[in-house]
Amino acid sequence: MKIIERNQCFYCKSPIKNLLVMEEFPIFMGVTSQDKKEDVLVDMIFAKCVRCHCVQVRNLIPLEVLYKDSHNGSVGKIWLEHHRHFSEFILKHASGNVVELGGAHLILANHLEKSEKIKTITVYDTNITGAPDSEKVMTKECFFDHTTVIDTPDAIIHSHVIEHLYDPISEIKSMANLLTEGGKMIISAPLINNMLNDGFTNAMNFEHTYCLSKALLYAILANVGFEIIDECQFNKHCVFVSAQKNNKVQKVTNFINDPECFLNFVKQNKEQIRQIKDQINTNKENTFIFGAHIFTQFLLGFDLPETLFSKVLDNDPAKQNNRLYGTSLGVASPVILKGLESPLVVLKAAMYTEEIKRDILENINPSTRFIL
């Protein structure tokens, strides 16, 4: 595998300077049944632009390798609520023929097809897992670009896709070229800077390769010819934006991002690892870590020893009885906590933490202790 090295800033094309190197980090944020020696590990290097100060990952994984397998399993309550609210926002602005990027579960498409405003929805994703509710929903199991689109769409929608783009300005521009003047692009985007400020370990990685903020999102859209016509803050960590193609919109030439959120995140996580080590004083058989995902991989990457834990816990049945990629840890259902005396669980699952904690205490083992 040949790494794609980002040698200049994705936004302003200036030189970038290394801030942090996490050596031999797993390239896949999921589980596997293969032998551990087959796992691919690559140095994850975070760098800062010397001009606009955007923090970004230097070593990029080829897309056909990074997204070879899906790590998206069951969809929780938070995501179901997100898709419902986002579909309502979309229907305020979109009609006719719609293209969706990255909607593997088809949850959003199946919400939208119920509206008479929507004629067709074509979903592009390399790992389609959902089933269409009607003939209005069509699927294409491939990446979306000018070679794969058939008809000119009236609107392009995508949820939590823009942060995955290696060159968002040129890639969003290529999408804009498929729209006529006045065509809509409707986006749900994570606010990576706010996620970093709150210590979320799923904020930046090999899939989310730059620190997206609302200001940066607006600058990207303006610089490729989109005018913002509406915005809805879904929560602190996610914003919905409706933009209209307008080639006369003024470009942003003096954008400066704030790298402090990333620097504080690194400092905070190193201190948290020290605290976790100090708090784990039970035997390994009674100690667990939650999340067969990037949450756990990131903590281990910050030098939390995997030998402290018996298992990785995860609610997704498809992940259970496998191994967390890049580690020796097996994955089990939280149900294994039932009957244990005061088991200890390290639980740092970003916006899902409270939902997971409540489920374990109310439905599995009320004596469970947590390191949050």
pLDDT single digits (tens) 187-238: 999 999 999 999 999 999 999 999 999 999 999 999 999 999 999 999 999 9
Query: How far apart are alpha carbons 352 and 359 in whole angstroms?
Result: 11
Q: Give the distance from CA 59 to its chain's centroid.
A: 17
Q: What was the pLDDT predicted at 143?
A: 76
Q: Which segment, 131-135, 144-148, 150-154, 333-337, is predicted with the most confidence on average?
A: 333-337
Is residue 6 helix, strand or coil? coil
Q: What was the pLDDT predicted at 69?
A: 75
3-state secondary structure 295-310: HHHHHHHCCCCHHHCC
Q: Quick one: pLDDT band at residue 146, thresholds 50, 70, 90?
A: low
Residue pair 314/304 in contact (Cβ under 8 Å)? The answer is no
Residue pair 226/245 in contact (Cβ under 8 Å)? The answer is yes
Query: How far apart are alpha carbons 97 and 145 in whole angstroms?
Result: 16
Q: What was the pLDDT predicted at 281?
A: 80
Q: What was the pLDDT predicted at 104?
A: 87
Residue pair 57/204 in contact (Cβ under 8 Å)? The answer is yes
The CA R_g of the chain, rounded to the nearest whole Å, is: 21
Q: What percent of the chain has pLDDT over 90?
A: 85
Residue type, 349: A
Helical ranges in the chain per DSSP H: 63-66, 77-91, 107-112, 168-176, 192-197, 214-223, 260-279, 294-301, 353-363
Is residue 140 helix, strand or coil? strand
Per-residue pLDDT at 37 exceeds 60? yes
Q: What was the pLDDT predicted at 144?
A: 76
Residue pair 195/239 in contact (Cβ under 8 Å)? The answer is no
Q: What is the DSSP string of 199-216?
A: T-TTSSSSSS-B---HHH
Query: How far apart are alpha carbons 112 and 106 in whole angstroms?
Result: 10
Residue 16, phi-psi category: left (phi > 0), alpha (psi -120 to 50), beta (remainder): beta
Instruction: Lay out the sheet containing 369-371: strands in order across.
Output: 331-332, 311-313, 287-290, 344-346, 369-371
Per-residue pLDDT at 239 exceeds 90? yes
Q: What was the pLDDT predicted at 232?
A: 97
Is residue 227 helix, strand or coil? strand
Q: What is the pLDDT of residues 62-92, one digit of tens each?
A: 998 998 876 555 567 888 999 999 999 999 9
Q: What is the pLDDT of residues 292-326, one digit of tens each?
A: 999 999 999 999 999 999 999 999 999 999 999 99
Mean pLDDT of 236-249: 96
Q: What was the pLDDT predicted at 254?
A: 87
Q: How many CB atoms lie within 10 A of CB 9?
A: 21
Q: Is the dihedral of CA 279, 282, 285, 286 positive or negative?
A: negative
Q: Kindly report the average pLDDT of the chain as a whole number.
A: 94
**What kind and span of H or E run contains 87?**
helix 77-91
DSSP conformational letter for 330: B
Mean pLDDT of 98-113: 94
Domains, the chain, in order of start with CATH, read: 4-61 (no CATH), 77-260 (3.40.50.150), 280-371 (3.40.50.720)
Q: What was the pLDDT predicted at 150?
A: 66
Q: Give the distance from CA 283 to its chain's centroid.
A: 34
Q: What was the pLDDT predicted at 306?
A: 96
Q: What was the pLDDT predicted at 171?
A: 94
Q: What was the pLDDT predicted at 79?
A: 87
Residue pair 248/226 in contact (Cβ under 8 Å)? The answer is no
**Residue whose C-alpha is closest to residue 125's, from 82, 86, 74, 70:** 70
Helical ranges in 100-153 per DSSP H: 107-112
